[in-house]
Chain A
Amino acid sequence: MTKTDAFISIQNVSKFFGTFRAIDDISMDIGRGEFFSLLGPSGCGKTTLLRMLAGFESTTAGEIFIDNQPTSDVPPHHRPVNMVFQNYAIFPHLNVRDNITYGLRKQKLSRSKRYEMAEEMLEMIKLPDYGTRKATELSGGQRQRIALARALILRPKVLLLDEPLGALDKQLREQMQLELRALQRQIGITFVFVTHDQEEALTLSDRIAVMSGGKVLQVDTPTGLYETPKTSVVARFIGNMNFFDGTVRRNGAAAAAIETEGLGTIQVPVADLDKPDGAAVQVALRPEKIALSATRPDAAEHAVSARLDTSAYLGERSHFYVNLEGRDEPVAVSQPNTSRFNAANQAPSGTEVWLSWSSDAIVVLDPE
């Protein structure tokens, strides 16, 4: 096993529950001070990975290094990480202040010092004067903050958060997202954040690991994941995506094209395409990267005509489904309503429209 510069280094880690493979040979590095998210559908192993970082589950194979130290033999109470549990796990028999100062026992501080530190934390999480409240008398959002304060008072090197906002309503969740992000910037601790909400992951993270079935599919920045997904599973999981089956056509070394079902033949720069002639590929195109117009736009690099199927007006933007010649599945198009009277919103089904997009909007992927 090699040491790396990364703050947390996960190297070939697997986890079996009996014969069930919950984590399947994951390797990745998390940098110091990074806001790192684990994103994936339910049951993909996010919690299991987080619990291995915290030390509650052993690794079946591989090794996790934290700050260049192997962690296999380090029990949870000696790890420089703290966790905010999915259900917060606030101690019901202690008041808020005693919950927050729970981990300070070993530091042998005076009572007044501990109270002072608790007061500081309460100030930070915007719950001053809550110290003597009973833990059972708190709302969900308040519990979440107490759980955060209880972990942060110990100045951990890493904070693990297991869907900490999952139980909150939308408005509170968005507010807490902003606060979490600001807090993380302010104190500079590495956050490993579990969520199955892609929007949340995109909003908060420096980098995101997309997981599925115990594997990590791609680790990238939010823009990297969204704009250059490496597989169609990732492309499908983050945001909406139109997929077109296609075949590579190479004419010598200089030019290449992809023959697609529905979009016609698209010229692509040879440098971007490492597939041989005749290879089957998928062309992916995001709905908002397609422009919709009544007539063929003059300047467009690529354009095809289509027929409007259904449309949905969402206020700030409208979603359209259009049908293409030679393709059964409708294509999703999303347009911002930049003017108050967008004719397309009123157009009846069957109206002819033009779709156009630029060359750099498409992503070429391996077929599933």
Chain B
Amino acid sequence: MRGQGKPMEGTYIKRRNRPLQVYAVLFLIVLYVPVLFIPLFSFNDSLYVRFPMQGMTLKWYHELWLREPLWNAMWNSVRVGAAVSVISTILGMVAARAITRYRMPGRSALVTFIMMPLVIPGIIFGVALLVLMSRMGVPLSLYTVGLGHLIVCMPFAVATLLPRFEGFDPSMEEASADLGENGWWTFWRVTFPMVFPGVVASLLLSFTISFDEFIMAFFLTGTDPTLPMYIWGQLRFPKEFPSVLALSALILLVSFVLVFIAQWVGRKGLENEN
């Protein structure tokens, strides 16, 4: 399943395919060029996003430093992200282990059920949770946001962890039991180290998703905004816009780095095995 193998000259499958290359390049341009405008204009010495640019400046970044509410929102997002990534990864491990280890009826139904939030629009989940919370009289807070994010992150956590659990031989755990370790120690001494790259990948991915998540937060935030909510709030004020761009650029950068690390660690682990 790994992306590119060694180039093999002359075989049919590896022959260069010009239209496909063009398509791939176009695809990447359409996908990423709009995103690239954000960091570009965050250095623009003007309130307005339009060409030609007025000159380079770092003042928008400097301004970010001075905003108390922004740092509060950032801190909220970090806390929610950390909690959500840890919980979804733990639940993801439990689910992945159960799915791969036990012969149970309705296994594929369970997988589908866990993966469902991937295809159900976030707005539906958001509204549903909002209704549920208000029915139950739960005040909206960072906890409700976290709950929403948990639903969004679970499929990613499971999808990241499942291949790790599938790729490992159940006789490893049996060997540990045979050598005298109970279930708990077997988990810590054998299972966990062997799925560790998947765990790191899942933590980073879940954190990134939660950190950037807007729709759930939109419905479920109480008085403490998360960072995306704060940004949304600032969009009403035209003079704040360049700072929002600067902030978005920073978030983009951090997200990219985290996802890259997650992918790299995940793949690294799988390669080591073989």
Chain A nearest CB: distance from B267 CB in Å? 17
Quick check: A54 and B178 within 8 Å, CB to CB? yes
Q: Confirm or deny: A83 has a beta carbon within 8 angstroms of a beta carbon on chain B.
A: yes
Known contacts A76-B177, A82-B178, A103-B180: A92-B273 contact under CB 8 Å: yes
Question: In the docked arrangement, what's the CA distance between A136 and B194, Å?
Answer: 13
Quick check: A83 and B193 within 8 Å, CB to CB? no
Chain A nearest CB: distance from B199 CB in Å? 13
Quick check: B181 and A83 within 8 Å, CB to CB? no
Cross-interface CB contact of A103 among B169, B172, B179, cutoff 8 Å: B179
Contacts of A77 in B (CB 8 A): 177-182
Q: Confirm or deny: B71 has a beta carbon within 8 angstroms of a beta carbon on chain A.
A: no
Closest chain A residue, CB of each to CB of B181: A77
Quick check: A151 and B174 within 8 Å, CB to CB? no
If over half of A's interface residues share one DSSP class (helix, strand or loop), that class is named, otherwise mixed; here it is: mixed
Quick check: A85 and B180 within 8 Å, CB to CB? no
Contacts of A103 in B (CB 8 A): 179-181
Q: Confirm or deny: B232 has a beta carbon within 8 angstroms of a beta carbon on chain A.
A: no
Cβ-Cβ contact count across A and B, 8 Å cutoff: 63
Quick check: A91 and B172 within 8 Å, CB to CB? yes
Known contacts A92-B273, A93-B193, A102-B189: A154-B179 contact under CB 8 Å: yes
Contacts of A105 in B (CB 8 A): 180-181, 185, 189
Contacts of B180 in A (CB 8 A): 77-78, 103, 105-106, 154
Contacts of B179 in A (CB 8 A): 77, 82, 102-103, 150-151, 154
Question: In the docked arrangement, what's the CA distance between A76 and B190, Å?
Answer: 16
Q: Confirm or deny: A75 has a beta carbon within 8 angstroms of a beta carbon on chain B.
A: yes
Quick check: B176 and A85 within 8 Å, CB to CB? no
Question: In the docked arrangement, what's the CA distance between A313 and B189, Å?
Answer: 57
Cross-interface CB contact of B171 among A55, A78, A89, A154, cutoff 8 Å: A89
Closest chain B residue, CB of each to CB of A92: B273
Q: Please count how many residues in chain B sit with their CB below 8 Å of the partner chain's CB atoms.
A: 19
If over half of B's interface residues share one DSSP class (helix, strand or loop), that class is named, otherwise mixed; here it is: helix
Chain A nearest CB: distance from B104 CB in Å? 14
Chain A nearest CB: distance from B164 CB in Å? 12
Chain B 165-199, CB-CB to A under 8 Å as 1, else 0, gives 00001011011111111100100011001100000
Question: In the docked arrangement, what's the CA distance between A106 and B181, Å?
Answer: 9
Q: Confirm or deny: A87 has a beta carbon within 8 angstroms of a beta carbon on chain B.
A: yes
* Max chain B Cβ within 10 angstroms of own Cβ: one of A54, A75, A103, A150: A103
Quick check: B194 and A92 within 8 Å, CB to CB? yes
Quick check: B171 and A87 within 8 Å, CB to CB? yes
Q: Confirm or deny: A56 has a beta carbon within 8 angstroms of a beta carbon on chain B.
A: yes
Within 8 A of A (CB), among B178-232: 178-182, 185, 189-190, 193-194
Closest chain A residue, CB of each to CB of B175: A89
Quick check: A76 and B174 within 8 Å, CB to CB? yes
Known contacts A102-B179, A103-B179: A56-B174 contact under CB 8 Å: yes
Closest chain A residue, CB of each to CB of B179: A103
Chain B 142-183, CB-CB to A under 8 Å as 1, else 0, gives 000000000000000000000000000101101111111110
Chain B nearest CB: distance from A64 CB in Å? 16
Contacts of B190 in A (CB 8 A): 91, 93
Contacts of B193 in A (CB 8 A): 93
Question: In the docked arrangement, what's the CA distance between A53 and B189, Å?
Answer: 24
Quick check: A85 and B174 within 8 Å, CB to CB? yes
Contacts of A56 in B (CB 8 A): 174, 177-178
Closest chain B residue, CB of each to CB of A90: B175
| 3 A-B pairs closest in CB distance | A103-B179, A89-B175, A76-B177
Q: List 5 A-B contacts (CB under 8 A).
A: A75-B177, A77-B180, A81-B178, A91-B172, A106-B180
Given contact pairs A54-B178, A103-B179, a sample of 10 additional A-B residue pairs in the complex whose CB atoms are under 8 Å apart: A56-B178, A75-B177, A89-B172, A91-B175, A102-B179, A103-B180, A136-B272, A151-B178, A151-B179, A154-B179
